[in-house]
């Protein structure tokens, strides 16, 4: 290798290159995904006679993946791993900044269809929830954060200001009580048990019992400060989503995902509206991308009939 190009020459060199990338990743889930993606890329790299790592090579690989029918999210995840490879190689003097920047500009695959905002599928939401490395304190915090965003539909500012006092038991379950949202509107939001468990796991490990629930975690693995900013929450969501190849996912997309999955699971629009704190049911419908069904309409679900009817 020289300072201009990165050449894949041997299995040992391949292993060393991939290990450099994995050492720079915190999440165990992401490490597994990147390891698999990079090994597959290295195999393709060698079998297709590509000698150097550059933008043209990565574009050709992405085109080959699309031609083989690989899903958009899988292609994007593999490209994320390769971009990370290029960045680490450049930082370690094995690849020029020019080539690394070129690889960083390789475009991912757009998801099919046009949506008013982004929603994750149930499988994608589960992958995101499982992404943090919960062997670390930061991973526990991030899982708890993702859990309340996906499981309760909170806005990022609401998550940032969430306190221990908000979490109470009502009717035998954990509820976020008297949460102040947009326009100072107050609401209460039921929590799924798994989200409450994630919060408990984080707060016990962090040894915090009062004040704001989400705090910054220093690189040393210790809690620092007494709050986490809304911007930090946005950055956290974007980082995990990018690592998984899910695209430009923001915290508000997880709020939409909460609504979409709840509706698909049978929850009524009125209950979803209450959890989200919307003034209008129309706003909730926009979150769901709801359209009137003419084949399975509400009027077909009434359970009524005419007991007598004169024949025409």
Over the stretch 92-102, which tens digit does the pLDDT of each residue have? 887 888 888 99
More confident residue, 192 or 74: 192
Percent of the chain whose pLDDT exceeds 70: 84
CATH code of the region 11-104:
1.10.150.130
Specify whether the CB–CB gap between 212 and 205 falls below 8 A.
no
Least confident of 49-53, 157-161, 236-240, 282-286: 49-53
User: What is the number of other CB atoms lying within 10 angstroms of the CB of residue 295?
Assistant: 5
Specify whether the CB–CB gap between 145 and 167 falls below 8 A.
no
Closest alpha carbon to 196 in 176, 214, 219, 178: 176
Closest alpha carbon to 144 in 155, 134, 156: 134
Q: Considering the entire predicted model, what is its pTM? A: 0.63
What integer pLDDT is reported at residue 134 of this predicted model?
93
Tokens of 272: 């979803």
Mean pLDDT of 271-293: 80
CA atoms within 13 A on the CB side of 247: 17
Specify whether the CB–CB gap between 37 and 22 falls below 8 A.
no
Mean pLDDT of 213-242: 92
The structural domains of the chain, with segments of one domain joined by +, span 11-104, 122-288
What integer pLDDT is reported at residue 306 of this predicted model?
61
What integer pLDDT is reported at residue 1 of this predicted model?
41
Measuring CA to CA, how many Å separate 251 from each of 135, 255, 295?
Answer: 24, 7, 34
Mean pLDDT of 144-152: 95
What is the CATH architecture of 122-288? Answer: Orthogonal Bundle (1.10)
What integer pLDDT is reported at residue 42 of this predicted model?
85
What integer pLDDT is reported at residue 116 of this predicted model?
47
What integer pLDDT is reported at residue 31 of this predicted model?
81
Specify whether the CB–CB gap between 20 and 88 falls below 8 A.
yes
What integer pLDDT is reported at residue 251 of this predicted model?
93
Mean pLDDT of 187-194: 92
What integer pLDDT is reported at residue 282 of this predicted model?
80
Q: Which residue has the tokens 């393709």?
A: 44
């Amino acid at each position: 290798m020289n300072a201009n190009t990165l050449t894949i020459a041997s299995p040992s060199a391949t292993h060393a290159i991939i290990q450099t990338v994995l050492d720079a990743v915190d999440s165990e889930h992401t490490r597994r995904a990147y390891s698999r993606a990079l090994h597959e890329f290295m195999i393709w790299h060698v079998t297709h006679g590509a000698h150097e790592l550059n933008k043209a090579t990565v574009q050709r690989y992405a085109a080959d993946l699309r031609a083989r029918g690989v899903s958009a999210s899988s292609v994007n995840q593999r490209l994320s791993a390769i971009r990370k490879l290029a960045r680490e190689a450049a930082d370690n003097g094995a690849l020029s900044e020019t080539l690394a920047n070129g690889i960083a500009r390789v475009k991912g695959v757009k998801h099919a269809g046009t949506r008013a905002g982004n929603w994750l599928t149930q499988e994608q939401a589960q992958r995101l929830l499982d992404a943090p490395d919960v062997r670390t304190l930061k991973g526990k915090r991030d899982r708890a954060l993702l859990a309340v965003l996906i499981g309760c539909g909170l806005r990022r500012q609401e998550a940032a200001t969430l306190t221990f006092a908000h979490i109470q038991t009502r009717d035998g379950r954990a509820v976020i009580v008297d949460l102040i949202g947009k326009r100072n509107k107050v609401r209460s939001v039921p929590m799924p048990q798994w989200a409450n468990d994630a919060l408990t796991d984080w707060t016990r490990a962090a040894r915090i019992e009062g004040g704001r629930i989400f705090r910054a975690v220093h690189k040393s693995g210790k809690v620092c400060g007494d709050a986490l900013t809304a911007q930090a929450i946005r950055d956290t969501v974007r980082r995990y989503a990018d690592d998984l190849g899910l695209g430009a996912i923001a915290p508000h997309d997880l709020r939409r995902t909460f609504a979409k999955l709840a509706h698909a699971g049978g929850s009524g629009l009125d209950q979803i509206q209450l959890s989200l704190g919307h003034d209008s049911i129309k706003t909730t419908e926009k979150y769901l991308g709801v359209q009137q069904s003419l084949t399975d309409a509400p009027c077909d679900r009434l359970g009524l009939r005419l007991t007598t009817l004169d024949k025409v």
